Structure 1
Amino acid sequence: MKTESRLFKMLRMDARTLIWWRSRRHRIDVDPSYQRKGRRWSISDKQYLIDSILNGFDIPKFYVVDFTWGDSPLNEKNSEYAVIDGKQRFESVFEFFDDKFPLAANFRLLNQPTLPLGGLKYSVLKTDYPEVAELFDNFNPDVMTVIASKKEYIEELFVRLNRSKPLSGAEIRNAITGEVSEIIRSIRGHEFFTSNVRFNTNKGQDLNCAAKLLMFEVTGALQETKKTQLDKFVKEAPDNTTLKKSVETLFSTLENMSEVFQFKDTLLGSEGQIPIYYWLCRNSSAEAVPYFRDFLETFMASLDNQVKRGALLTEGEKADFKIASRSINDRTSHSLRYDILKKAFDKWLSLNL
């Protein structure tokens, strides 16, 4: 009786530079049918990755199937490698090599902060700042190679890669005790508040912001968020079914936002605007949300009169948004700022996508 061949190995690949991977890009299947799927990256996502590489920060591991060892039924396109996890990172690296996007406008090299590198593309770095281009060329990503004879082994790898992900829907539901104050503390513990926001949280500003988001979600609308209303909301807890549904939606939205915004993001330097950013992301399509940060950079520049052509706002809208931002807890302020922001986001999407 013939025994079925079973093979599964995982090895750390010997160090290979990004320039090495670039030279073999045509031998890499970046989109096999069994790849771990992820959201589409925005320009700011890609710029953040390049920033991390140039400044020597650690980036997540790449996982690729290695077909150089021999024939495999998983080799769908006669390639040497197929990407399991890391498609967006590989594509971002190759696109930067190809000048498809520049460094972020506020980019700075940490060990040489005076170099005027913001907004430059790779070809300019190569010509004018070759030592900086070499940092990128010679970066060695951490790549795990997988040798597998069956697709099921790849699927098992996906499960194990995701097993430690925080705040699944079941975990969120299990954490709800019926006390709104406890839920607000759990919201405050989300990565969005611990890693993305830039405002000072020493006096509980994160708890205050979390309470506003939960109030919006439970009531299904923008509300007055002054101390009196927030205190009343916390004391008069809604039924447990409503809380469960609201918290699931809230955490799902925060998960999307934490992927869009950067670590200690300069765009999240004030607690006052975040409830409006949340409500717009929450009510936007899955295709639009990844571009929210890119839009917000243009919106803020337009608000400060830094954008002269193709501005998103009229002079009246600029004035209204600034006036409304002085009373960040009024319901009318929330509504007016949301309406202006949504109109501008829709316009930005129509112009850029």
Structure 2
Amino acid sequence: MSYIETYPIQHSTILRIYSEKDEIDVSPDYQRNGGVWTPEKKQLLIDSILNNYDIPKIYFHEFNREERKHSGVTYSIIDGKQRLETIWDFIENKFNLSTDFEYQDDPNIKLASLSYNDIAKEYPKIRIKFDSFVLPIVGVKTDDLDLIEDMFSRLNEAVPLNSAEKRNAFGGDMVKAIREVSNHKLFTRKVKFTNKRYQHAEVAARFLLVESSQHDHSKLIDTKKVYLDSMAKNYRNNRTKLVENFVEVVENVCDEMVKTFIDNDHLLRTQGSMVVYYLFFKELIEKGKVVKRKSLEDFDKKVKDNRTLAENNYEKADFDLLEFDRLSQHGTNDVSNIKERLRVLKDNLIF
């Protein structure tokens, strides 16, 4: 039986969590990577802590005894990675407080531009206060990692749980087509995300929506739940031949993707990337071109390296790649998001 349990982690002071950082996996497979934080955003978080403001909750996945023994870690970060790493960076003197920082408990104390070490030397009581700040960390226990995604869909996007499962109950020609496409080798062998909660069917539906929206509206539309549900209902009956044509086109594109990607491919680790790849491969087919997996692998690495560069020197980072990174984490079903990521992908690939 799958379950999920949440609870507040007790005594989660900054100093304690920092002392246990080696026991925390900051980059598990299900980590939701956020956009790169600017120096100003990092300084604002430390400002909030020093001035006793509430900060957003941080979520940890707690490993069971066997998982701890195997991995050597106690927790992995589900949400809040940037906040924790910002705090750790401040403790390690990687950035200072802002030049206009004001200590609200006593404005006469001048902390502006100071580092963590500076505060420890000049104002040890304030350093102790910072170290003793209790982080709002929520522990998550589950025997099904997919439930973590479901939980955050509810909390962060207000997406109803199991929307694909509900859509499956509509029945009809399009729902049958979604099932057929979701059984393609692209999903059964190549993608890295599981199908425990109909994730494959959700992506298959988005592929089919690309084709049906082109037929109905002569353009791509948002691949959101409301449009997926509408497609399933509009193509429920009496349009069998048209649905079969959509399936043929989609499976042809999927066939090409299968030739490029490896089994359980980390490049296909998220649902949000799938429509972009689908549109990219569809365009390749139309133009009679092919792409090597190495080119896609190099692009993925380029995005990650650019993220690291931005963390150290934001001005030298490539804006397009930062935007691709940001858009890959937020609102991935918006048509404007999809088109922009597709553009950046095409602009950066070497054929």
Query: Fold conserved (TM > 0.5)?
Result: no
When the two structures are superposed, what TM-score results if normalisation uses the length of structure 2? 0.45
Structure with more helix by fraction = 2
